Amino acid sequence: MSTTPRTVVITGAAGGLGREFALAFAAQGDDVVVADLNLAGAQETAVLVSAARREDGTTARALAFEVDVTSRASTDALAAAAAAFGGGHVDVVVNNAAIYAGLNRTPLEDIEEREWDLVMAVNLKGPWQMVRALSPVLSEGARIVNLSSATVLSGSAQWAHYVASKGGVIALTRVMAKELGGRGITVNAVAPGFTLTQASLDLMEDAASYGVDRGSIKRASQPADIVGATLFLASEQASYVTGQTLVVDGGRQFL
C-alpha cells in the first residue's frame, strides 16, 4: 500500500475494466481521477471508489471528470483538473478508453470510413492526446500504462480498424517510452486477451468458454487478471520496465 497517495488518472473508467482499475488503485492507497465521456457512469465509479475502504481503514479520494479523449481542449481541461486534484502533479495514467463494445465484425472493404476514423480517434489518438496534455504535470518517475489487445498478435479477421488501432497503441507506447524516459517516466502496454467484462459477455452467448481450449491456462480471463498486470506496471517494482507490451491471455499467444 502506498504511504503517500498517488494521483492516478484512468480513462474509460465509467464501467468495465476502467472501473475495476479505479477500485484496485484506490484499494492500494491511491487517489483516482475517474475520466470518461459518460459522466454519469464516471460519477458512479467515483462514489464506489470513495466508499471503498483501504487496508488502513481510510477511504480514497475520487474525482469524476467528463472527457473526450479525442479532443485537445477536453484533454487539456482534464489535465488541469487532475493536477489541481493531485496537488500540482499526476503520478499514474491508465489509457483505457476505447471503442470495443458495439463494433460489428465487418470485412475490411465494407467498413464505413466514419467508423474507421472514430475507432482510430478514440483508440489511438486518445492515448496520444492524454499523454500530450498530461506531460507537463507528470511527476518524476510517473507511470503510464496503455491498453492494447492480444488480438494484435493474431490479426483477428473482419476487425481491421480495431486491430490496427491497438497495434498502433503498441508502437505509440514505444515512442513515448523513448521520449519520456529521461524524466524517469515509464510507458508500457498491457495487451489483454478476450476477457469476461460485461462488454465481452454481451458479444456472444458462449463468452465464458470462448478460446479457453487455445490457452496454456485452461480458464477464461477475468478482469482481475488484467488489473493485476496493470498494477504491476504502475508500481515501483516496474521502475526499470519501459516500452514493453505485457500480453495477458493465459498463454494463448506468445510474443
Query: What's the confidence (pLDDT) of residue 1?
Result: 45
Under CATH, to which class is 7-248 assigned? alpha beta
Look-up of cell digits 475520487: 62
| End-to-end Cα separation, the chain, in angstroms | 32
Q: What is the mean pLDDT of residues 10-25?
A: 96
Query: What's the confidence (pLDDT) of residue 164?
Result: 97
Please report which confidence band the pLDDT of residue 169 belongs to, taking 50, 70 and 90 as the band edges.
Answer: very high
Query: What's the confidence (pLDDT) of residue 58?
Result: 82
Whether the CB-CB separation of 123 and 165 falls below 8 Å is answered with yes
| DSSP per residue, 28-71 | TT-EEEEEES-HHHHHHHHHHHHHSBPTTS-B--EEEEE--TT-
Asked if residue 44 has pLDDT above 90, the reply is yes
Tell me the sheet residues that pair with 135.
Answer: none
Please report which confidence band the pLDDT of residue 220 belongs to, taking 50, 70 and 90 as the band edges.
Answer: confident
Look-up of cell digits 459477455: 201
The residues annotated with a catalytic role in the active site are 162
How does 16-26 read in b/e, with b if 16+ C-beta sit within 10 Å?
A: bbbbbbbbbbb
Whether the CB-CB separation of 91 and 6 falls below 8 Å is answered with yes
| DSSP per residue, the chain | --SSPPEEEEES-SSHHHHHHHHHHHHTT-EEEEEES-HHHHHHHHHHHHHSBPTTS-B--EEEEE--TT-HHHHHHHHHHHHHHTTS-EEEEEE-----TTPPP--GGGS-HHHHHHHHIIIIIHHHHHHHHHGGGEEEEEEEEEE--THHHHT-TT-HHHHHHHHHHHHHHHHHHHHHGGGT-EEEEEEE-SB-SHHHHHH-TTGGGTTGGGSSS-S-B-HHHHHHHHHHHTSGGGTT--S-EEEESSSSS--
Whether the CB-CB separation of 42 and 69 falls below 8 Å is answered with no
Q: What is the mean pLDDT of residues 122-134?
A: 98
Greater confidence, 78 or 255?
78
Domain ranges of the chain: 7-248
229 CB contacts (<8 Å, ≥6 apart)?
Answer: 190, 246, 248
Please report which confidence band the pLDDT of residue 36 belongs to, taking 50, 70 and 90 as the band edges.
Answer: very high
73 CB contacts (<8 Å, ≥6 apart)?
Answer: none
Please report which confidence band the pLDDT of residue 201 belongs to, taking 50, 70 and 90 as the band edges.
Answer: low
Asked if residue 202 has pLDDT above 80, the reply is no
